[in-house]
Amino acid sequence: MEKVLLGVDLGGTTTKLALINVYGEIIHKWEIATDISENGKNITMNIAKAIDAKLEELNEPKSKMLGIGMGAPGPVNFTNGSIYEAVNLGWKDYPLKDLLEVETSLPAVIDNDANMAALGEMWKGAGEGAKDLVCVTLGTGVGGGVIHNGKIVHGISGAAGEIGHMTVVTEGGAPCNCGKVGCLETVASATGIVRLASEALGMAGEPSLLQERIQEGNRLSSKLLFQCALAGDSLSKSVVDRVGNYLGLALSHVGNVMNPEKIVIGGGVSNAGDILLEPVRKAFELYSFKRVRKSTKIHLATLGNDAGVIGAAWLIKNRLNPS
């Protein structure tokens, strides 16, 4: 096996790992459960054990590994690789980089997981070739990564790119986990979309395909909503259009400030495809500045769940060899 990088995408439930060559090609990938017990104190040790076990399985020496890049939830102090706070892991001012290097005996670099996804899409995905890029991830929450001139924008306290906490509902907004109300995350995440759909069903004055599917025993989910919208259900389509309008509004603000070459939409919700992308683009055209809407293009992400590990590999590769 040639010299490789290890990309790690740390999640609250599972941790994705991948051996990746210096050209961004995945050689081998796997995942392990994330042990969040005792405030996540076993996470770095478990990752180290998983690496050793995989190398033994592949009959490859550790000397072929150049380093580890890891995407972690929450804001990251990029200067020392510590985590300011990761609520779902129980971390606060947690020295993740130092602990990971001690456990693995390899150089490591840490950044926010959404930033890593943005770097992955820039290197090998929908943002390939762009040095000014914004990536938005729509999943259980809404994350974001901002890249300017090929480098991640962190901000003074590691909170740059928190697109999910832009206020898009100024009156009567739903509470967000961040403590505010009306955040984009409350209307464009998978959970936020389900809430909007549930509200629409409660106010519906006539039958809908979505209601029929639920009565047949299907669980209300963003995936079911998009399926019904694709099938022509007017109630579902109205909810999707509403989500698209909120997201397009938020992205217009991002575009007006950053004027990136590309805005890439990823995460599980983006699997809806064009039925979501069309109202997003329509709203972006409506709300963005003329020069922005002519020069900034919106695309769906192409790397799926691999974006984070590929971006993490890119970051450690470039940290080790900045040229």
Residue 81 pLDDT greater than 90, yes or no: yes
pLDDT at 10 over 60: yes
Statement: residue 142 has pLDDT above 90: yes
Decide if pLDDT at 75 tops 60: yes
Residue 177's pLDDT is 85
Q: What is the DSSP string of 67-93?
A: EEEEEESS-EETTTTEEEEEGGGTEEE
Classify 289 as helix, strand or coil. Answer: coil
The predicted pLDDT at position 322 comes to: 58
Averaged pLDDT, 48-62: 95
Q: Is the pLDDT of residue 11 over 70?
A: yes
> Which whole-number Å values give the CA distances from 179 to 74, 150, 159, 185, 191, in the listed order?
15, 32, 15, 12, 16
Q: What is the pLDDT of residues 93-108, one digit of tens each?
A: 999 999 999 999 999 9
Instruction: State residue 1's pLDDT score.
Output: 66
For residue range 244-272, list pLDDT tens digits in order: 999 999 999 999 999 999 999 999 999 99
Q: The pTM is what?
A: 0.89
Cα 293 from Cα 303, distance rounded (Å): 25
User: For the segment 265-320, what is each residue's pLDDT rounded down to a tens digit?
Assistant: 999 999 999 999 999 999 999 999 999 999 999 999 999 999 999 999 999 999 87
Domains along the sequence of the chain with CATH: 4-120+311-320 (3.30.420.40), 128-302 (3.30.420.40)
Query: Strand 76-77 vs strand 108-112: parallel, antiparallel, or unpaired?
Result: unpaired
Structure confidence at residue 218 as a pLDDT band (50, 70, 90): very high
Q: Element (H or E) spanning 42, and its range?
A: none
Percentage of residues in the chain with pLDDT exceeding 70? 99
Instruction: Output the pLDDT for position 157.
Output: 87
